[in-house]
């Protein structure tokens, strides 16, 4: 069995879209997938890419992906990499592909002078949590992820436009 990790290209867009949908099914969040594939392609491969994707292959067949982007640590004064999604198809789990994707991202973070590689994991996903711990990752238990989206995001943005005074 051979594993390979490669950077995604525009021609991988249908594959990336399929992997995102498979991940959403696994995470029990399929009803939250709302992306437009053309817009996704623009954000990944357009004039100003907002994220990058690595494709993991086993014996030449795409079996997983990692979608990531840069963030910044003010405390470290350095960039970081935020791993938005990591997914390996069930039939390829145990082949070392998840570890290979994370190792490639870790090498990229070091190469780019990043202070850290971070991601979130669903608290019910014990297999993933155990896997991440086995690699040396540690949970950031004192932190709570916060999110503004949909109507709340639009409302707050509209409030700012109406009143430039903070």
* pLDDT tens column, 95-138: 999 999 999 999 999 999 999 999 999 999 999 999 999 999 99
Q: Tell me, what CATH number does 25's domain have?
A: 3.40.630.30
Using an 8 Å Cβ cutoff, are 33 and 24 in contact?
Answer: yes
Over residues 42-69, the pLDDT tens digits come to: 999 999 999 999 999 999 999 999 999 9
Instruction: Give the integer Cα–Cα distance in Å for 101 and 28.
Output: 23
Q: Is 26 a catalytic residue?
A: no
Q: Which of 26, 142, 42 is nearest to 91 (CA)?
A: 26
Per-residue model confidence (pLDDT) at position 50: 98
Task: Give mean pLDDT, residues 2-21.
Answer: 97
- Residue 101, domain extent: 3-162
Selected catalytic residue, list 132, 133, 153, 157? 132
Residues 6+ apart with CB under 8 A from 12: 53, 55, 62
Q: How many domains does the chain have?
A: 1
Task: Give mean pLDDT, residues 22-50.
Answer: 97
Q: pLDDT band at residue 166, thresholds of 50, 70 and 90?
A: low
Per-residue model confidence (pLDDT) at position 149: 87
Helix (H, G, I), strand (E, B) or coil at 157: helix
pTM of the model: 0.90
């Amino acid at each position: 069995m051979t594993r390979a990790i490669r950077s995604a290209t525009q021609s991988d867009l249908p594959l990336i879209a399929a992997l995102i949908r498979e991940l959403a099914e696994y995470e029990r969040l399929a009803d939250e997938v709302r992306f437009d594939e053309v817009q996704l392609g623009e954000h990944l491969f357009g004039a100003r890419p907002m994220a990058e994707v690595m494709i993991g292959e086993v014996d030449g067949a795409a079996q997983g992906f990692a979608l990531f982007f840069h963030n910044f640590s003010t405390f470290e004064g350095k960039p970081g990499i935020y791993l938005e999604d990591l997914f390996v198809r069930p039939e390829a789990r145990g082949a070392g592909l998840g570890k290979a994707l994370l190792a490639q991202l870790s090498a990229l973070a070091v190469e780019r002078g990043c202070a850290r590689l971070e991601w979130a994991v669903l608290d019910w996903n014990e297999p993933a949590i155990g896997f991440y711990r086995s690699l040396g990752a540690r949970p950031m238990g004192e932190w709570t992820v916060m999110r503004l989206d949909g109507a709340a995001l639009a409302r707050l943005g509209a409030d700012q436009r109406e009143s430039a005074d903070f």
